[in-house]
Amino acid sequence: MSNCRFLYHNGVVLEAPPVTTFLESLTGAYTTTRTINSVTSFLFWERHMKRLSSSIRILLDSKPELLFSSESSSPFLMNQSVPESSIYDLVNGCMNKAMKSVVVKERERIFGEELAVTVLVTGNVEKLDSFGDENCDQERKVVDFLDVWLHIGGYSPCPLGVRENAASLALVGRGRDVAAAKYSDWVRLRKPLEKFRPPSTTELLLSNDGDHLLEGCITNFFVVYRRKSSDNLYGGSLSEFEVQTAPITDGVLPGVIRDVVIDVCLSKGIPYRERAPSWSEHELWEEAFITSSLRILQHVGTIKVPVGSLEALACTKPEEFQWKEKKFEEGPGMITELIQVKLEITL
């Protein structure tokens, strides 16, 4: 990924810090996507706007302090509606201006790359407090106390399906609060999990019971589960397998690529079930992969879970951690490849 980064806010383009530093500095709901076709369009933009709107509504209803920097704003926000169209118009207006500023003025610096774009919507307490008329239009009131920040950086996508690009995963922590929303405070809250990361581990997994694997810290998690015993692996039909991923109701983020993968399974006749993969059944896992809006889909080479409970892991010195490990065949498996091929058509 290029070191070329920009921050756009209120019509001003500034040099930006790394995206994690940016997200740690502000409280709000966000989404991250990337451009395709030489910076001519955004990948699954409509889906991202729908999820961003949903995240804002969830935070307003349940955890307004995750949208604002002050809990004192909570009483003002009860039962407020935020129409998806209002968020779309707000973000699109900022995005159109930002892309003209960045792409036109900085064309030479980003030439040959796509762009990774993070849209952060924050609550502005000062704007909210300035509304004193209880009879003012409620939709207008909600939109007017939201600010949009755009973090834009050069991005060089990795090709899908490269054998050597397998992800290495490790289970280290419990699931997120308000998991159905994507919010910036999670970037800060997940940092303590880093001390449990084994060397060369790509992504950290979350579970509430140490057995049912929910998601990664920044990805959704899938396994290909063998439903029938067969001596001739993949010699039978697709019905012998099913793609499994935790349901939203278990406490996972409704990832954009997660939803696309489910759509692909439906269209290609690949059996799938929204069920948190159980480590107790890992011998029946033939493949695994993770998804995100930047990685798209990455096959998994190894998964590690701690020996003992997650609580015991927290009480153990890093050099004394012990792990159980599941290894997969080198390279993406048959079903992972089927899904990858379908996804590549959209890129």
- CATH number of the domain to which 64 belongs: 3.30.470
Domain of residue 59 covers 5-155
Structure tokens at 31: 């989404």
Which pLDDT score is estimated for 131? 57
Domain count, the chain: 2
**Count of alpha carbons within 13 angstroms of residue 264, beta-carbon side:** 20
187 and 143 together in one domain: no
Give the C-alpha distances (Å, rounded to integers) separating 103 from 21, 54, 143: 23, 29, 27
307 and 258 together in one domain: yes
Domain-terminating residue out of 101, 129, 155: 155
Which pLDDT score is estimated for 109? 55
219 and 330 together in one domain: yes
Of 91, 79, 98, nearest to 146 (Cα)? 91
Structure tokens at 16: 């930006």
327 and 184 together in one domain: yes
106 and 173 together in one domain: no
What are 120-174's pLDDT values in tens digits?
999 887 766 665 555 455 545 667 789 999 999 988 887 776 777 899 999 999 9
Domain-terminating residue out of 133, 155, 177: 155
Which pLDDT score is estimated for 8? 94
Residue 36 phi/psi, 5-degree rounding, is: -135, 165
Tell me if 207 sits within 8 A of 174, measured CB to CB: yes
136 and 172 together in one domain: no
> Distance between CA atoms of 309 and 282, rounded to whole angstroms?
17
Domain-terminating residue out of 118, 134, 155: 155
Structure tokens at 4: 């070329």
46 and 129 together in one domain: yes
Structure tokens at 221: 């998690």
22 and 73 together in one domain: yes
225 and 340 together in one domain: yes
255 and 116 together in one domain: no
Adjacent-strand bridge partners of 237: none
128 and 252 together in one domain: no
- CATH number of the domain to which 228 belongs: 3.20.10.10
Residuewise pLDDT in 10s, the chain (347 residues)? 456 789 999 888 888 999 999 999 999 999 999 999 888 899 999 999 999 999 999 998 889 889 987 654 545 555 566 788 889 999 999 999 998 887 666 555 555 688 999 999 998 877 666 655 554 555 456 677 899 999 999 888 877 767 778 999 999 999 999 999 999 999 999 999 999 999 999 999 999 999 999 999 999 999 999 986 655 555 557 889 999 999 999 999 999 999 999 999 999 999 999 999 999 999 999 999 999 999 999 999 999 999 988 888 878 887 788 999 999 988 899 999 999 999 988 77
Question: Hunting for tokens 């069920």 — which residue is that?
Answer: 275
How many Cβ atoms from other residues are within 10 Å of residue 237's Cβ? 10
18 and 108 together in one domain: yes
